[in-house]
Structure 1
Amino acid sequence: MGSAVRVIPAVATSTTAFVGRAWRGPVDVPVRITGLAEFERVFGGDWAPAPMARAVRLYFENGGAVALIVRVATREGAGRAQQAVIALVGGLSLVAASPGTWGRNLSAQLALPADAAGDPTAFDLVVSDEADATRDAAGRGGSGVIERFIGLSLDPASARFAPDVLARDSKLVRIATLPADGQGAVAGTASADPASGDDGLPIGALEVTDAANEAAGTGMYALDVATGFNLLCLPPFTPDTADNGDASWRAAAVFCAARRAVLLMDGPADATAADLVARTQGWQDLPRDWVAMYHPWLRPADAGAVGAPACVPPSAAMAGLIARTDSQRGVWKAPAGAEATLRGVRGLCLAGRASGAPTEADLADLNHAGICPLRFLPGGRSIVPWGTRTLAGATGSGSLGAYLPVRRTAAMIETSLQQGTAWAAFEPNGEPLWAALRLAVGNFLHVLFRQGAFQGATPQQAFYYRCDASTHTASDIAQGRVHLEVGFAPLRPAEFVILRLDLAALPADPPTP
């Protein structure tokens, strides 16, 4: 084993996943987005039937940096979302790259090149998403994007075989049908059939959280093919949805806990503080330390404008604030308090309160139940979260996972160590490997200590780590099982948080006779 110190990088902490309906874009595929403009380009931006667009806007407005977007749509039955069709002459037809009536604004122009370079099936194609067309159901018009493809071929042996090139390079269309064998393309222009394409019916749990999605890799389970996420937001399924329902929230919580991610859960829009406290008391089967609930809903800055909702759920704004806090202070800093102001909002929508704002008694009741309340700062108009607990943080729970920064810091450390020590799987299990692990882990924890992640004036007070003969049995060594124990003193509670990681290594060499 080399003598160089292995560096363990800290993993990302605030990549936020959103699962919901969108105007356009890939369906049941996680797409990494790094800004609102990119979301609008890929998924079409604001669309009245899809609350996810506004949620993503609030996320980036409040400091979010990276989002994973999973667009879902109705998949079955007469009300399923469908792609628009462009029928060119000669048997060649195209379909929009994704379902929805947005595809009705597409047009295509096929031309035959003057010099086919020996390929009689060659053709050129121009596809337009016409900005001045309003054939879609919402009358929005197209994006104005134009794509040009030169030297496409109908020959499957060609490197420019049209179905392959469009599937790889086009954001607008795919090949639906090809001309009959032996026939080439025919020049012509066509617009999408205005009777084709369908936005589908409103989505629900069936498309997002139901168990059937797991085997299919659809809905929120589509995130399993992504590189990882830290926070999950489930915007309301429809604009009229006040609550996505206990079954959906429970499924999402279990999903997140299995992936070391935190579910940012919205209380029902019409719930009073007392209603919500009573409801959460029945959720004992939830992995509560992986769920942070915020309440009440927020009044957006543009409330009252045409098409703007009166109130929106807080999870997306909180995800952005958490990302902002992570970037400025670290994952161990509580995303709450006077400096944690929410942007893009101007009021609160608590049911049962004429002002929409919780009273001091409401704030106390919510906090005691492990619910993070939102409030106006005393003497000001800024809105801030006034709690930093998970649902496990109900008074008297005693769980270290009761504190959101502790839960997220522990998840970051555990994931970083597991990913950053993967090299151990190719080393013989024994003291040289353990020493290398101790050195790498010690350096990683010391960097976090210097950044202010732990309590304690010295490293000895702040953290410890063990990987030696005391953490292994003879059977562990022989079978290549490596046990690493790490403890750290989080900033909130006084106790140490202890993580035990089981790693893999090569089995120890048998003793020489």
Structure 2
Amino acid sequence: MPITPTYPGVYVEEISSGVRTITGVSKSVTAFVGAAKRGPIDKAVRILSYSDFERRFGGLDACSELSYAVRQFFLNGGSDAWVVRIVKHAQSATHTLKDKSKQDVLKITALDEGLAGNRIEIQVDYKTLNPANTFNLTLNYTSPDNPSDRLTEKFDNLSLNSQDARYIEAVINGISRLVTVKREENAVNSLSDKSGTSVSGDLQNADVSKLIDNRHNQFQISVNGLKPITVKIDSNEITGDNVSAKLTSLANTIQTKVISATNDNSFTCTFRDNKLILTSGQPGEFSSVRVLRATFNDLSTNLKLGYRNGGVEEDAVATIRLDETLPKDTIITLTGGTETQYSEADLDNLTFSQAERKGFYALEEVDLFNLLCIPGVTKSNILSEAAQYCKQRRAFLIADAPKTNTVSDIQSTEVTNNDNGAVYYPWIYIADPLNNGKLRLTAPSGTVAGLYARTDSASGVWKAPAGTEANLVGVQALTYKLTDAENGILNPLGINCIRLFPTYGAVAWGARTFQGSDQAASEYKYIPVRRLALFIEESLYRGTQWVVFEPNDEPLWAQIRLNLGAFMQNLFRQGAFQGKSPREAYFVKCDRETTAQNDINLGIVNIKVGFAPLKPAEFVIIQLQQMAGQIQV
């Protein structure tokens, strides 16, 4: 802020230069959509290596084209991806644990819907620090077709009491990668969640001399939301000649100590109908006693909880221990998990809801992705919708051509009328680790996406991901080996071919978008031109957010020209544009010519950015002339 001089001397003030660096966004963050062995459904998960994919989605699966595509992506140079698992229908596996009275107290549900949940095993034991109230839970998952794909989780000293620091829902939910848990209403237990509570036990035949000892002799109670107090009772404070009298004495002792600690004279603790009843407030009112802990010897496993609502007392089972009658080594497996994958016929009419964020629309929760692959999906209606979504997100779709082995069939392939994508033909063969290295036919999109990432890292997004340097790692053979003439038929149609050449192996031998056909005459005919434009758009979109609500006049426009010009100049120096000088390579305009007074009145600032893109040398023409015999003088 400006300095206000108040004394004679020298004042130093820092003045902003107006330079705001625009950083280029990531170029090859790839999103994959498809079926997987396990993992969350219709939820984007970020992975930074194939090991991440194995841990979260189970690794390779013979029925999952996605799993092979992701593996090929990282093998060919990819480093950052989002994965969305889809199924036609799925249901989570579950199991409900019971207490000693065989009532449901804890429902355990597989975190991921589908068949994988049926492989989760649970074990319960009671070797804990506080065996009267807590237990341990062990979870195991083992893949049916890959024994090395294992995951074990153990949670110790768990409690069913919501006020406990080790409350099972708080400890497991959001932490476990295998399950979620939910305490059933039958497990409301002696650490109540309800206001207006009273604790009672089956006291009619209780031996009061055994009821209280030096380890089990206290209540922890909160009255009217106050700080919890602990009521300790000594056995010598209990008087009376029979059980009923002694329990009445116990109730009176609790009441006296609570009133003394809280000064709440409305608090009562009485013994009636063979129950201890704790209340607060006038009769007919909603009381607010919260029993946080109640420990009684012999009764700690069969205490019951009642609550007083409008003067009506209701009971709920409050057993806080799980079923100890199970043998120690009993293993319980979750059951009921089902899933139905999309068949090839289903893909004809497959639709995803953007409102429900299903399929590739699950990427709505992702801040940025640059490439999209739906491995194995070749239906034009799906690819058209995916390409349109890519256009909205300034991303690029890498599509697979149909599996056909004839050029005549592929010529009739419907390509969406959208320049935010490219299609590759033919499909490829790779070594299958699940089948002793035998060749497996798989879609090329994941492999090509890895090539894009490798090219971006080595040369830049303005370099065509094609040519002799664009070798496809892991590709052993192709479904159809194209000739130059056949390549010449497909290339003008905007279909990028994968070729096999001696020495170089399998390479991408095309760099055209969906609108790359000669007949379309699109200015975004080539992949590097389209992707460079997307890169610039996204970078400038994110790098100019500071402009919003700034005074819309020449000082702002000068800053915009300075910052955007610096970004474009940096790209020029890296070789992203044509031209020998910046003037020939790009321009940035933001002034009275682009933003008229009416625009200013409407709160609009117009910025024009132009660039001269590099286009790939798709056709190299060598002219050879034979010299005629020369007469030497």
Task: Give TM-score, length-normalised by structure 1.
Answer: 0.84
Over residues 76-134 of structure 1, what are the superposed CA-to-partner deviations in whole Å (9 max), with x where a residue is unaligned? xxxxx2222233332223121112332233222334465559xx7544322222x4xxx
Match of 2:447 in 1: 317
Residue identity matched to 2:61: W
Are 2:385 and 1:258 equivalent residues in the alignment? no
Distance 1:305 1:140 in 2: 12
* Aligned residues of 1:72 and 1:207 also touching (Cα < 8 A): no
* Aligned residues of 1:434 and 1:467 also touching (Cα < 8 A): yes
1:305–1:145 Cα change, 3 Å: closer
Match of 1:128 in 2: 140
**Following superposition of structure 1 onto structure 2, how do residues 145-160 of structure 1 map, counting pairs within 5 Å?**
145-158=151-164, 160=166
Distance 2:546 2:349 in 1: 35
Q: 1:71 aligns with which of 67, 85, 101?
A: 85
- Unmatched segments (≥5 aa) in structure 2: 1-14, 190-318, 618-633
Match of 1:213 in 2: 353
Displacement over 4 Å in runs of 4+? 112-117, 138-142, 157-160, 187-190, 203-212, 302-309
Q: 1:372 aligns with which of 496, 499, 518?
A: 496
Match of 1:85 in 2: 94
Q: CA deviation at 1:302?
A: 4.3
**Following superposition of structure 1 onto structure 2, how do residues 218-297 of structure 1 map, counting pairs within 5 Å?**
218-236=358-376, 244-280=378-414, 283=415, 286-297=416-427
Percent same amino acid at aligned positions? 39
Q: CA deviation at 1:145?
A: 2.0
Distance 1:167 1:204 in 2: 36
Distance 1:386 1:293 in 2: 12
Residue identity matched to 1:275: D
Secondary structure at the counterpart of residue 482 of structure 1: coil
Distance 2:168 2:349 in 1: 36
Over residues 6-59 of structure 1, what are the superposed CA-to-partner deviations in whole Å (9 max), with x where a residue is unaligned? 010000111111111111111111011111111001100011211110111111
Distance 1:343 1:307 in 2: 15
- CA RMSD between the two structures: 2.6
Distance 2:533 2:88 in 1: 37
Q: CA deviation at 1:263?
A: 1.0
Q: 1:44 aligns with which of 58, 68, 79?
A: 58
Match of 1:503 in 2: none
Q: CA deviation at 1:170?
A: 0.5
When you count strand as a share of all residues, which structure comes out higher? 2
Q: CA deviation at 1:177?
A: 4.8
**Following superposition of structure 1 onto structure 2, how do residues 344-493 of structure 1 map, counting pairs within 5 Å?**
344-350=474-480, 357-377=481-501, 379-380=502-503, 382-492=505-615
Distance 1:424 1:31 in 2: 32
Task: Give TM-score, length-normalised by structure 2.
Answer: 0.69
Distance 1:207 1:155 in 2: 48
Distance 1:493 1:340 in 2: 14
Match of 2:461 in 1: 331
Q: CA deviation at 1:480?
A: 1.8
Secondary structure at the counterpart of residue 128 of structure 1: strand
Distance 2:530 2:513 in 1: 8
Residue identity matched to 1:338: T
Distance 1:303 1:35 in 2: 18
Secondary structure at the counterpart of residue 384 of structure 1: strand
When you count helix as a share of all residues, which structure comes out higher? 1
Match of 1:99 in 2: 113
The count of residues paired between Structure 1 and Structure 2 equals 464
Q: CA deviation at 1:72?
A: 1.0
Distance 1:158 1:428 in 2: 55
* Greater gyration radius: 2
* Aligned residues of 2:427 and 2:442 also touching (Cα < 8 A): yes
Secondary structure at the counterpart of residue 173 of structure 2: helix
1:19–1:451 Cα change, 3 Å: same
- Unmatched segments (≥5 aa) in structure 1: 76-80, 237-242, 351-356, 495-513
* Aligned residues of 1:466 and 1:486 also touching (Cα < 8 A): yes
Distance 2:509 2:344 in 1: 31
Secondary structure at the counterpart of residue 343 of structure 1: coil
1:113–1:474 Cα change, 3 Å: farther
Secondary structure at the counterpart of residue 122 of structure 2: strand
Are 2:337 and 1:197 equivalent residues in the alignment? yes
Secondary structure at the counterpart of residue 340 of structure 2: coil
Residue identity matched to 1:360: D
Residue identity matched to 1:366: L
Match of 2:38 in 1: 24
* Aligned residues of 1:14 and 1:66 also touching (Cα < 8 A): yes
* Aligned residues of 1:209 and 1:251 also touching (Cα < 8 A): no
Distance 1:6 1:304 in 2: 52
